[in-house]
Amino acid sequence: IFIGTVEEAKGIHEYNELSKLYNNLNFHAIGDGPLKKTLENDINNRINFYGLLDNDKLDAILENIDLLILPSKAEGFPKVILEAASAGVPSIVYSDYGANEWILNNDSGFVVNTFEQIKESLDLLLKNQSEIKKRSINAIKLSKNYDWKYIIKDWEKIISSLS
């Protein structure tokens, strides 16, 4: 799945290219943007577009998704990675914006440098289905590191230590 603004800056063209290379996989895109119509009209495109969705509908879709691919090379801290991780969906993301600071590569997801490495990651998962399950469990663990109830406890400990 791709979740984000359907625009060049978010890497939607790379996601579209993957949909053409891996015709045995189902590709989904949540979001809207300037390239949505163009991609929907591409007869070789294999992406199912959903447009903008509320959280309940997104959660329902994530229940049936194995992998988030976010081919953007310019992000801050994309919360969509944590939202997907909390549903047990690991991610493939580029390293350009420091994703390796929170995603352990080849554990809770994949942090790559090139489009070729995205394909290598997909190939690894396709060859061994148990690999996706392992990363799914680790993605859930990753999301818990950023869960407010745990972060608040850490803050409380820090604040208590100041008194």
CB contact burial 9-36 (16+ within 10 A = b; e otherwise): ebbbebbbbbbeeeeeeebbbbbbbebb
Percent of the chain surpassing pLDDT 90: 67
Q: What is the pLDDT of residues 117-126, one digit of tens each?
A: 999 999 999 9
pLDDT at position 163 = 67
- Whether the pLDDT of residue 98 is over 90: the answer is no
- Residue 32 pLDDT > 80: yes
Is residue 136 pLDDT above 90, yes or no?
yes
Q: How many residues does the chain have?
A: 163
Residue by residue, DSSP assigns 101-124 as GTS-BTTTEEEESSHHHHHHHHHH
pLDDT digits (tens, 9 = 90+) for 38-51: 998 887 889 999 99
Confidence label for 152 from pLDDT (cuts 50, 70 and 90) = confident
User: What's the confidence (pLDDT) of residue 162?
Assistant: 87
Mean pLDDT for the stretch of residues 74-88: 86
